[in-house]
Structure 1
Amino acid sequence: MNLNLFSVFDPSTSSFLSLNWLSMMLCLVVMYPMYWLMPSRIIQLYKNSMSFLLKEFKSNFIKMNYSIFCLYMGLFWFVFFNNYLGLYSYIFTSTSHLSVTLGMSLSFWFIFMLFGWINKINLMFSHLVPLGSPIYLASFMVLIETVSNIIRPITLSVRLAANMIAGHLLLTLLSNLMENNLMSFPVIMPLIMCLMSLEMAVSLIQSYVFITLLSLYLNEI
Structure 2
Amino acid sequence: MRTDPAVLDFEYMRHFAAAIRAWGPPPRMLALHVGAGVCTMARHLSAAYPDSRHIAVDVDATLPELAREWWDLPRSPQLRVRQQDGLDAVATRHPESLDLLLRDAFAGDTTPASLADPTWWGHAARAMRPDGLVVANVSAIPGGTTHRQDAVAARESFRSVVAVGEPAVLKGRRRGNVVLVAASAVDVDALRRYAASAPLPTGVNPDWTG
Q: TM-score, normalised by structure 2?
A: 0.25
Q: TM-score, normalised by structure 1?
A: 0.24
* Relative contact order higher in (CA < 8 Å, ≥ 6 apart): 1
Q: Flag the structure with higher strand content.
A: 2
Q: Flag the structure with higher helix content.
A: 1
